[in-house]
Structure 1
């Protein structure tokens, strides 16, 4: 029964994320896990409880992968379900490890137990985000974008640090002895202090506008994934892209990731020149996503600028395993799934922002904006962030609103607007305070016209990266372990 409760609590956590936005459920879900771990007799039981919680959370939260593998990747449904189950089981190893260590090391009073859980949670999510190229989707801190008061900590501690705060509050509420008035007052005061501090940090403008307002046109082509690669429709898609650029002049026009379904050197002669002419006629620049190839036949998922400024490019550097490249020993995967352009090469680790529209625009492509620390490489030079994505792979699923929520966290962490141009949604403008100021409806072709300001300066997170969150987690763990001599006494 305990493991079933953990599984259900993990599954319920999906409602704390977009599009549901039931932010308090993040605290409740972790509180249930912390309560179960309090009664765990040992590390093995703790691991199984954490694993059950994690498996429930990831199956509920990333079920949209089934759409990519089965509907668009052509993998038989049973094999797609098995692949996703194995992937979620791998991800669940991280909360499993957290549970094992919590059950093994928890001793002493409420504050120590809560500090231990928070430290373990922070380090566990960080490891999930970096090991084997990382998969930080559904980090708990993403649930705390505005209107959560803890959103104020995102520019300071980043998403992992905020996740640690959620874990601390959840575990403290469980570990406290509610029969002792003094302890109840102390716990309530600490929680109130965190929320008030977060609300206060929200009032700080860590970065400042620079330059004149920029008129942008973020284009959403709405080309279905199963039609995009049909040779008979190629001419239609070329015309759709060209017409949308011509009809939406702006200082910065953006087409989504891989908006053209073939390599740049295979495009009709003069096609890119035509797009550049349209951009220049509108007095601006165009950034579009397409596949490029170098002299050594390496293929890149790239963003290329055309128009008034000299042409520049950015090549995606953090590729998606199994979608854009095959990890070692997994070549058999592509015998079961049909994924176009799945043998790509990583771009250079440090690439300068694109100088377009009078701004310095740091491009990240689709999945790359999950990795907040990597986006810091472009700062402080970059004044705007731009994400181009093709989420048509995932249909009408939770992936779209969850990805927009991730973009909101990145805007807060960097103190920069995040512009998003996507194929099917969510095309949007996210302000430095994490608020979405404009958005197109999903699954409609259209152009989002807006004025944005570039920003300069650095947030604390932009200066420190994840070091502050990891340092606090290490201190919490050291303190909880070092003070074990006080076990048996209440805090």
Structure 2
């Protein structure tokens, strides 16, 4: 029956939306069943079809709760196990974040329902993709941004990944939601519309496959041998003064085994002391040793400006040249307190070491490493595509250092690596990623993993890295193309929402008979 889903009680539709959102988590790493993303979005639209804005809000919110509930539950680990928060409070705050993040999907649901009323095709093909992507984009920057689980990441190994160098991850989300709308039309419509929907799906996926064969950048000179090291220092010991010497010895041991590399990368805050405190006793002797071996070292270390008494999450390069990068996009509550005047009382329940960082003010995220400039990012800076592209086209490759130990043995390290892969592909630059406990990896310019150091293992991985020059379309256009298309699609759907089409009339008649 055409209106079986829309005719279900609202509570049932909300529960189905929660299930659809939870199912979507399987499309992300480490599961990576990417077709599930289209199926879950198609089910979401089917539940929204025929709904009013209020119902759409609740259904979309339900989808978001399912997605966030299953997808970011790992935040509890950082607040409870490492933030020293009482278990009940850790669960409460995690649930609050999930509900708030899920509300963006509620906005998308309400907007889709409002603009789909009476529309045969503009709802699934214009309103739904546009509303979905615009709210994803809004979530990515409003209140410092939380762009985790953007649906486009699920396609990193799929044909739609060919769009990444042109439109970025939000463009993939837009096309993915469009594919979900076409799938809905294929199932629910008849005649020529059904055949057109099938043709549209085939053409989109063929175009994505063809685009994957295009290279937008080119090699720049000779390659070099790079190594990422992972000392696997437990988060509970990382800032313990009694274990600092043993931690540094672990990094030194891994480094000295790989002096045949041209570049060795240590993870975020690998040195758990301020730079000025260990500069003479540790950093300068290590830099001299690196120069003697002909190796560049890049190390994560806190940096203090002693004149103004501010400290930064830093990344230093030592060897033939010396340079410093200060993290520009900080983690709320983990590295700074947002809206301090309002939220200071809440923040006092956290006991996070080094949680009062200051954001760096460099205009671009570049770090000089030997003869090359590298695009630098620390921790979750690499989940903001518009910030990473600011290093291009000068950056010959990308560097990301992180400490995902905060989230234990959960989905988070796998999801974070998946996002790093998308950055490599969007910019067509090799990416070196070193983390404290995993997953450290070297990615090529297509976002493919050449090798990794698994979670909770001490080790290193080396590979020949090829610097590149030039820039993709995404570097020049950023998110403007995807978001501009989404706004255009939204505007085109508005006139259709003012009409009472046969679908809406039939739905209302079915409901009247039921009452």
TM-score, normalisation: structure 2: 0.92
The aligned counterpart of 2:313 is 301
- Residue 269 of structure 1 and its aligned partner are, at CA, apart by 3.7
CA contact (8 A) 1:245 1:278 kept: no
> What value does the CA root-mean-square deviation take over the aligned residues?
1.5
CA distance in 2, matches of 1:179, 1:164: 22
- Residue 418 of structure 1 and its aligned partner are, at CA, apart by 1.1
CA distance in 1, matches of 2:416, 2:128: 27
CA distance in 2, matches of 1:459, 1:135: 25
The aligned counterpart of 1:386 is 399
- Give the 3-state SS of the residue equivalent to 2:228 in structure 1: strand
CA distance in 2, matches of 1:247, 1:376: 34
The aligned counterpart of 2:265 is 254
The aligned counterpart of 1:320 is 331
- Give the 3-state SS of the residue equivalent to 1:363 in structure 2: strand
- Residue 476 of structure 1 and its aligned partner are, at CA, apart by 0.8
Question: Does 2:240 correspond to 1:230?
Answer: yes
CA distance in 2, matches of 1:130, 1:179: 37
CA distance in 1, matches of 2:346, 2:257: 42
* Correspondence 1:236-247 to 2 at 5 A: 236-247=246-257
Aligned partner (choices 114, 137, 159) of residue 104 of structure 1: 114
The aligned counterpart of 1:429 is 442
**4+ residue runs over 6 A deviation:** none
CA distance in 2, matches of 1:401, 1:113: 31
CA contact (8 A) 1:110 1:172 kept: no
Change (3 A) 1:33 1:349: farther
Question: Does 2:360 correspond to 1:347?
Answer: yes
CA contact (8 A) 2:186 2:198 kept: no
CA distance in 1, matches of 2:13, 2:365: 51
Comparing 333-342 and 298-307, the one that deviates more: 333-342
CA distance in 2, matches of 1:473, 1:432: 27
CA distance in 2, matches of 1:247, 1:296: 39
Question: How many residues are paired up?
Answer: 487
The aligned counterpart of 2:101 is 91
Residues 267-307 of structure 1, C-alpha deviation per residue, up to 9 Å, x if partnerless?
27421012212311220210000101002111100000111
CA contact (8 A) 1:314 1:351 kept: no
CA contact (8 A) 1:293 1:299 kept: yes
CA distance in 2, matches of 1:170, 1:487: 24
Change (3 A) 1:62 1:391: same
CA distance in 1, matches of 2:398, 2:45: 37
Change (3 A) 1:268 1:352: closer
The aligned counterpart of 1:125 is 136
The aligned counterpart of 1:330 is 343
CA distance in 2, matches of 1:8, 1:177: 20
- Residue 246 of structure 1 and its aligned partner are, at CA, apart by 2.4
CA distance in 2, matches of 1:374, 1:413: 12
The aligned counterpart of 1:70 is 80
CA distance in 1, matches of 2:72, 2:185: 31
- Provide structure 1 residue ranges, at least 5 long, that are not aligned to the other structure: none
The aligned counterpart of 1:374 is 387
CA distance in 1, matches of 2:296, 2:30: 33
CA distance in 1, matches of 2:335, 2:188: 52
- Provide structure 2 residue ranges, at least 5 long, that are not aligned to the other structure: 1-11, 504-515
